[in-house]
Structure 1
């Protein structure tokens, strides 16, 4: 009989972080993960998030992972999350069940009153969630673009008064990008609203994250102020992912996000990236339209589920 054991990730062990990242990549290829990024997220998590990265071992082999924590940046207290992934070749051993049980016990002990989880949209995964009392909520799609072969829209000159820069140009003072990120994140469709008001933590969580590529992250600047941007994540293995794309409210409807993202994609291809991924809430019509314009195709779908506790 296979013995399943759940424990915390050993962040000081590069091999353990690499095994965690490998399960994540096999389960959700659209979400870049490296040993460095996995360990960084754990070590630098906000204290109020009570974040834990769990691994499930089957006879000593890492076969499952879980991201567990509280939504510390939400104005609504008690919002917990657990995102559980089991290697597609190692399902049916009980690893997922033990990860969920361990995560739920921890979150309820930490005061969570609602538990949110993203579930891959397959009959088996949705039934797994339903058996544990989770109710389906909103839907999001992972999109993929074959960057090596895609016929990207031709580069266009910015309109008068608009300049394209990279995040590298803001290294001395990234606060304007923080303000833009905070404004656009507040308008994203979500079950759990987020408020970015901690600049110091944003520097740690976003600006210094090992996946963030400052040279490919592109910003449309109007009158010296960032008006639209696309955050670019790269994993060093040919994958490019959009970490966030948005436009300040005062500048929406001018095509600035499309302009910035097109420039970023062109430079990503020149830098050797061969695949581009992004994710969209299905209710985010403007971004869905932009990504279709670029030629992205649906790669996978996840369904947000929630369960009330306490």
Structure 2
């Protein structure tokens, strides 16, 4: 049996569906759909040079890789490489071929430091270390059973605070862009993210097919978004928090908890049955909030890093 690596062709429906299927099987804690795959490829910033690879064995797609430059980081030369193999098709060489092809591509773009997420399991970590990667920060995936878990009661917003939805900003999302840009800079992790291109943010994030504006909650103070909880949903009843954050001037007031609770209640009312989120282990305040809601850790990933050259 022969394994080959090739580019995903967005115009071929089977390629897109196979990528989403294998990624879901390997990483069921994140929402992946064919539309999301197409969107990432079509609307990524040109400076990201994003590329999706497929590992194929005798016509069956058994592995995927998502690679590109981290163009939103102020430090040049950084790149991401995330490879996943169908859990029932491991030890066939697909992972080795995907990593080799991805590294060659990123090196050709001038990348000098590669970041990869690796599930915290002995075999996966050994694979990464064999390829010259060193472990860095862990992060948790968390799951909440929305159908069975009692959510905290909805609270009354403090004086001067109003709860709105993302849909209320459909005509002018720039205030949410500004809040997203500020909170993204403060997220703990190995990579600093700076959102500076509003139009690119609109194309890549605001127009994302999984973004559910009706379930995205925004706490507004003096007419400006002060905190938000961004909701993604698919058509299977799965809901994911893509980002929860509060502007620096309004932290310590419980606004993140208020916004997320509002979003979760409306998600359950809309038929969502599972909620997912992710937290860097250094993000103690958000981990505490999620545990307050009843989220439980369902898996852990470790960020691995490799220096090139």
**TM bucket normalised to smaller:** over 0.9
- Residues of 1 paired with 2:36 and 2:288: CA distance? 30
Q: Note the alpha carbon deviations across 1:72-127, whole angstroms, 9 max, x for none.
A: 01100000110001011111111111000000000011000001100000000000
Q: Note the alpha carbon deviations across 1:16-66, whole angstroms, 9 max, x for none.
A: 111100111111111100001011101111110010011111111111111
Residue 190 of structure 1 deviates from its aligned partner by 1.6
- Residues of 2 paired with 1:11 and 1:200: CA distance? 23
- Residues of 2 paired with 1:40 and 1:16: CA distance? 14
3-state DSSP of counterpart to 1:164: strand
2:247 aligned partner: 248
Would you say 1:228 and 2:214 are equivalent positions? no
1:59 aligned partner: 58
Structure 1 vs Structure 2 CA RMSD: 0.6
2:209 aligned partner: 210
- Residues of 1 paired with 2:29 and 2:204: CA distance? 20
2:259 aligned partner: 260
- What TM-score results when the alignment is normalised by the length of structure 2? 0.99
Residue 255 of structure 1 deviates from its aligned partner by 0.4
- Residues of 2 paired with 1:239 and 1:89: CA distance? 24
1:81 aligned partner: 80
2:24 aligned partner: 25
2:280 aligned partner: 281
Would you say 1:37 and 2:36 are equivalent positions? yes
1:92 aligned partner: 91
Q: Note the alpha carbon deviations across 1:253-288, whole angstroms, 9 max, x for none.
A: 000010000010011011111100000000001101
- Residues of 1 paired with 2:206 and 2:230: CA distance? 10
3-state DSSP of counterpart to 2:80: strand
Gaps of 5+ in 1: none
Gaps of 5+ in 2: none
- Residues of 1 paired with 2:148 and 2:67: CA distance? 37
- Residues of 2 paired with 1:62 and 1:217: CA distance? 34
1:120 aligned partner: 119
Q: How many aligned positions are there? A: 309
- Residues of 1 paired with 2:125 and 2:207: CA distance? 35
Q: Note the alpha carbon deviations across 1:156-214, whole angstroms, 9 max, x for none.
A: 11111101000100011000000000000000012111110100000011100001001
- What TM-score results when the alignment is normalised by the length of structure 1? 0.99
- Residues of 2 paired with 1:12 and 1:232: CA distance? 28
Q: Note the alpha carbon deviations across 1:211-244, whole angstroms, 9 max, x for none.
A: 1001001100011100000110001111100000
Residue 15 of structure 1 deviates from its aligned partner by 2.0
1:133 aligned partner: 132
Runs of 4+ in structure 1 off by over 3 angstroms are: none
3-state DSSP of counterpart to 2:156: coil
